[in-house]
């Protein structure tokens, strides 16, 4: 009995494949192996076999006759099958089709539908993704619920990459009471950013694509997505709380919680930017150090509550009376530091006199009583080293502290 070509294998389809599947497979293979586009050795022979197979399988009568002959060959005893001589290649093996897996047999239209679905999810076009799901899923899941569900998912799991491969192809497959002529099960590999955990995560999920009224649709398979919506609402609540905590941590790692000004770390980092501008462009700037000295009776009490109140009071005065571009920080329990960009020593002295007058006319009320607070201010124009500048300012404050009056100290002397 002569050798019978396996036309199903040549077209990479199941022997129970529907006519539209056979047609789709033929078109895909013709695009790949037609001699006009494929110049590799053997492509013309392969295209000849593809045409031969399609010519037989697309015709109902020819296909029935071929299937009967194929069945007869499959029943032939193994002993009667022709054998190749030892160490001799069989002529029929010269163009033998390689064994095909589910992915190579998968209709291109099924892959295209799944690709569009995941592209829509990645772009957060959930209405377009909903249009691609099966009719049964649309009966179970309303469009608004689907969009709400996927929106909740995307706030937690941010899809970044995806790849997929067909793992299994089934015919006349029943899913949730509906029989589909063809079902392709894909393994989908994803890379997502988990917003709650703050990390990249890789995962592999299974996703089915079904042939429905000659169109490929995504099978979701959920009868009710409300529990999933509720679950992701809870996770989004955690995400909101985490975001608020992160904002607080970031804020208070650079800000003083009492005065609202920079702390030492925040001021130092902001000041370094001005140092770089000075080094690169020669932009002048000055620094002012201000220290509050409460009355002796308040200092003796070592009252922490009073210190916090004074810090808040001073922070409000400073914040309201300096430029937006000035950098203000708390420097110790009763000290404050101000960097004034684009300001020479003369300009810094004018700013110091202004803030000294404001502190003098703004009462410090504590325990319903106006308390006496003395102000010492040191000023210095920056000249190459921030550490040296702050060290000089500390020295000026020490000199000013010997005075009993509010005063401004600098390299040239003291102004009261």
Site of tokens 């592209």: 119
* Residue 262, phi then psi, degrees to nearest 5: -60, 145
Residues near 349 by Cβ (< 8 Å), separated by ≥ 6? Answer: 379, 408, 410, 415
Sheet holding 407-410, edge to edge: 327-330, 335-341, 285-294, 373-381, 407-410, 413-415
Name the least confident of 28-37, 127-136, 274-283, 293-302: 293-302
The residue-averaged pLDDT of 369-379 equals 89
pLDDT, residue 249, reads 54
Query: What's the CA gap between 396 and 375, in Å, rounded?
Result: 13
The percent of residues in the chain predicted with pLDDT above 70, rounded, is: 86
Top pLDDT among 46 and 347 is at 347
pLDDT, residue 73, reads 66
Most confident of 73-77, 83-87, 256-260, 336-340: 336-340
* Residue 274, phi then psi, degrees to nearest 5: -70, -35
Q: How far is CA 126 from CA 55, 116, 143, 331, in A?
A: 42, 11, 9, 53
Residues near 337 by Cβ (< 8 Å), separated by ≥ 6? Answer: 267, 287, 288, 289, 290, 328, 329, 330, 331, 390, 393
Q: Helix, strand, or coil here: 409?
A: strand
Q: Is the pLDDT of residue 93 over 80?
A: no
pLDDT band per the 50, 70, 90 thresholds, residue 186: very high
Q: Is the pLDDT of residue 83 over 50?
A: no
Please state whether beta strands 327-330 and 364-366 pair in parallel, antiparallel, or not at all (unpaired): unpaired
Mean model confidence pLDDT for the chain? 83
Query: What's the CA gap between 147 and 295, in Å, rounded?
Result: 65
- Looking at 223-366, which runs of residues are DSSP E strands? 285-294, 327-330, 335-341, 364-366
- Name the packing angle between helices 19-33 and 43-57 (round to 10°): 160
* Cα atoms found within 13 Å of the Cα of residue 217, Cβ hemisphere only: 19
Q: Is the pLDDT of residue 30 over 70?
A: yes
How would you write 163-219 as a 3-class SS string? EEEEEEEEEEEEECCEEEEEEEEEEEEEEEEECCCCEEEEEEEEEEEEEECCEEEEE
pLDDT, residue 70, reads 78
pLDDT, residue 410, reads 92
Please state whether beta strands 373-381 and 407-410 pair in parallel, antiparallel, or not at all (unpaired): parallel
Query: What's the CA gap between 208 and 180, in Å, rounded?
Result: 11
User: Could you tell me the pTM of the whole model?
Assistant: 0.43
Q: Is the pLDDT of residue 44 over 90?
A: no
pLDDT, residue 85, reads 42
pLDDT in tens, 138-185: 999 999 999 999 988 888 888 999 999 999 999 999 998 899 999 999
Cα 124 to chain center, whole Å? 13
Under a CB-based contact definition with an 8 Å cutoff, are residues 389 and 339 in contact?
no
Query: What's the CA gap between 367 and 370, in Å, rounded?
Result: 8
pLDDT, residue 299, reads 56
The residue-averaged pLDDT of 1-13 equals 77
pLDDT, residue 207, reads 93
Top pLDDT among 97 and 313 is at 313
pLDDT in tens, 315-370: 999 999 999 999 999 998 889 999 999 999 999 999 999 999 999 999 888 777 88
User: What is the signed CA dihedral for 217, 221, 227, 228, rounded to 10 degrees?
Assistant: -50
Q: Is the pLDDT of residue 252 over 70?
A: no
Q: Is the pLDDT of residue 95 over 90?
A: no
Q: Is the pLDDT of residue 414 over 70?
A: yes
Top pLDDT among 25 and 85 is at 25
pLDDT in tens, 400-409: 888 888 999 9
Cα 406 to chain center, whole Å? 55
Give the closest residue to 267 by CA, choosing from 335, 182, 337.
337
């Amino acid at each position: 009995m002569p050798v019978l070509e396996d036309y199903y294998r040549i077209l990479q389809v199941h022997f129970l494949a529907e006519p539209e599947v056979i047609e789709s497979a033929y078109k895909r293979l013709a695009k790949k192996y037609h001699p006009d586009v494929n110049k590799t050795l053997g492509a013309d022979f392969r295209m000849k076999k593809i045409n031969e197979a399609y010519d037989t399988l697309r015709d109902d009568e020819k296909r029935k006759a071929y299937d009967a002959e194929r069945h007869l060959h499959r029943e032939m005893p193994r002993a009667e099958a022709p054998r190749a001589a030892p160490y001799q290649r069989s002529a029929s093996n010269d163009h033998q089709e390689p064994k095909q897996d589910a992915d190579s047999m998968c209709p291109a239209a099924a892959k295209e539908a799944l690709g569009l679905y995941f592209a829509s999810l990645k772009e957060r076009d959930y209405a377009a993704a909903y249009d691609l799901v099966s009719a049964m899923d649309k009966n179970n899941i309303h469009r608004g619920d689907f969009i709400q569900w996927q929106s909740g998912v995307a706030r937690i799991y941010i899809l970044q990459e995806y790849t997929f491969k067909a793992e299994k192809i089934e015919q006349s497959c029943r899913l949730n009471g509906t029989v589909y002529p063809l079902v392709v099960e894909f393994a989908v590999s994803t890379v997502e950013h988990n917003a709650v955990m703050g990390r990249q995560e890789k995962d592999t999920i299974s996703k089915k694509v079904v042939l429905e009224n000659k169109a490929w649709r995504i099978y979701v398979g959920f009868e009710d997505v409300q529990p999933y919506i509720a679950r992701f609402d809870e996770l989004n609540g955690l995400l909101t709380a985490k975001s608020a905590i992160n904002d607080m941590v970031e804020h208070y790692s650079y800000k003083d919680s009492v005065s609202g000004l920079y702390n030492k770390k925040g001021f130092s980092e902001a000041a370094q930017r001005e140092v770089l501008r000075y080094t690169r462009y020669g932009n002048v700037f000055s620094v002012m150090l201000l220290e509050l000295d409460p009355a002796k009776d308040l200092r003796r009490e070592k009252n922490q509550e009073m210190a916090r109140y004074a810090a808040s009071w001073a922070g409000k005065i400073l914040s309201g009376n300096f430029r937006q571009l000035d950098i203000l920080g708390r420097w110790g329990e009763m000290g404050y530091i101000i960097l004034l960009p684009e300001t020479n020593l003369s300009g810094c002295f004018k700013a110091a006199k202004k803030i000294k007058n404001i502190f003098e006319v703004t009462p410090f009320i504590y325990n319903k009583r106006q308390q006496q607070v003395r102000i010492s201010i040191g000023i210095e124009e920056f000249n190459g080293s921030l550490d040296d500048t702050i060290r000089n300012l500390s020295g000026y404050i020490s000199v000013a502290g010997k005075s009993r009056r509010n005063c401004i100290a600098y390299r040239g002397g003291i102004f009261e």
